[in-house]
Amino acid sequence: MQNLDLTGRTALVTGSTQGIGLAIAIDLATAGARVVVNGRGDDGVQRAIAAVRAAVPDADVTGAAGDLATDDGTAAVLEAFPHVDVLVNNLGIFGSRDPFAITDDEWRHYFEVNVLASIRLIRAYLPGMTEHGYGRVISIASDSAVVIPAEMIHYGMTKTALLAVSRGFAKAVKGTGVTVNTVIAGPTHTAGVEDFVAELVGTDLPWDQAQRKFMQEHRPQSLVERLLEPEEIAHMVTYLASPLASATTGGALRADGGYVDSILP
């Protein structure tokens, strides 16, 4: 029977020096993949490599520093790793803003980081995957792609775009053995989200109370009524990267704690 064994596969996880990206890197390493962690600077990348090795002592892990929102940063990563078997587009930025105050430059910046960086890598890696007859492209979207928050329209727009990008590229490589999917991640507990929660509910509450207040007031649709842990998103990614997911492509799979009110994936 097939399993989640990714031995012999190389996986690049963008924006993987912390949070969900780091959890994905650790989970893929646990499944036996050779993992390439990525961040803008070498210091962060080296810390992430150490974190992966601490969690998985026999991990095959290396790093690729480069700002993937730039041409030069992307070129550096592609030069170091011209072929990968698994591409996880995790890189992303978020933040709440008054929708009437956000500038054109901010809109462009969010698009460049959250969407165009992924498109560049998909275009670069898909031809090699199809040539080898195996490949997995997994982009991390968000519940905000479907349930657009009023305070994060600019962010939600980029995650909606990723759903379209993934569906389109899945069609472009149909019949090749390569799959392209998106994971819709629900509200997840990361350091950045802790700051976001504090911004919305204040800093005078202990974390457990602040988290509950945030979910009740700002994310009441959640069926688990808590923030998810990064590892819960990582498990879905590892499944999609594995041979077990060979029949799943062009999909938007939810690891959202039931946040999106839909009976469809």
d(CA 161, CA 168): 11
Q: Give me the pLDDT at residue 163, please.
A: 98
Specify the pTM: 0.95
Do 219 and 158 lie in one domain? The reply is no
Active site residues: 155
CATH number for the domain including 121?
Answer: 3.40.50.720
User: Domain containing 210: what range?
Assistant: 189-227
Q: Give me the pLDDT at residue 2, please.
A: 58
Residue 160 lies in a domain: yes
Residue 80 lies in a domain: yes
Q: Give me the pLDDT at residue 1, please.
A: 42
Do 150 and 213 lie in one domain? The reply is no
Residue 55 lies in a domain: yes
Do 39 and 61 lie in one domain? The reply is yes
Give per-10-residue mean pLDDT for the chain (265 aa).
85 98 98 98 98 98 98 97 98 93 97 98 98 98 95 96 98 98 95 87 90 91 94 98 97 96 85
Q: How many domains does the chain have?
A: 2
Residue 260 lies in a domain: no
The secondary structure of the chain in percent helix, strand, coil, rounded to multiples of 5, reads: 50, 15, 35
Q: Give me the pLDDT at residue 192, please.
A: 81
Q: Give me the pLDDT at residue 247, please.
A: 97
**What is the side-by-side strand order in the sheet with 178-185?**
60-65, 34-39, 10-13, 86-89, 135-142, 178-185, 252-255
